Amino acid sequence: GESVGLHLPTLSVQEGDNSIINCAYSNSASDYFIWYKQESGKGPQFIIDIRSNMDKRQGQRVTVLLNKTVKHLSLQIAATQPGDSAVYFCAEKENYGQNFVFGPGTRLSVLP
């Protein structure tokens, strides 16, 4: 069945360094992907999205890369700050579907 997974459950980076969070997906029919940030005790917060007709999209300090050939998604955070510490989820959705499938998440810890 369709599933979204992550290569690393935890990631620690030094403040100021760049962070890369990875996500693997298995459903080749997925055509829309979203990265969410979730802080402790709060709901997931939208960060950035990308559709399958693109391979890169940039936001403020964040970049999402999509490699459909190997079904891989990544989130790059530039100049990581303490406020970036959170759990990051990737989510995928099939075309014509409404069900977003989430992976288990990666916890990002920013070290001073």
Q: Is 4 in the site for other proteins (CB under 8 A)?
A: yes
Residues 66-95 that bind other proteins (CB under 8 A): 89, 91, 93
* Residue 56 Cβ vs other proteins, minimum distance, rounded to whole Å: 18
User: Which of 30, 35, 36, 108: binder of other proteins (CB under 8 A)?
Assistant: 36
Q: Count residues contacting other proteins (CB under 8 A)?
A: 21
30: which residues sit within 8 A by CB, 6+ positions away?
A: 2, 52, 92, 93, 94, 95, 101
How far apart CA 66 and CA 51 sit, in angstroms, is 9
Percent of residues in the chain assigned helix, strand, coil, to nearest 5: 5, 55, 40
* Residue 77 Cβ vs other proteins, minimum distance, rounded to whole Å: 19
Contacts to other proteins by CB under 8 A: 4, 32, 34, 36, 42-46, 49, 89, 91, 93, 98-105
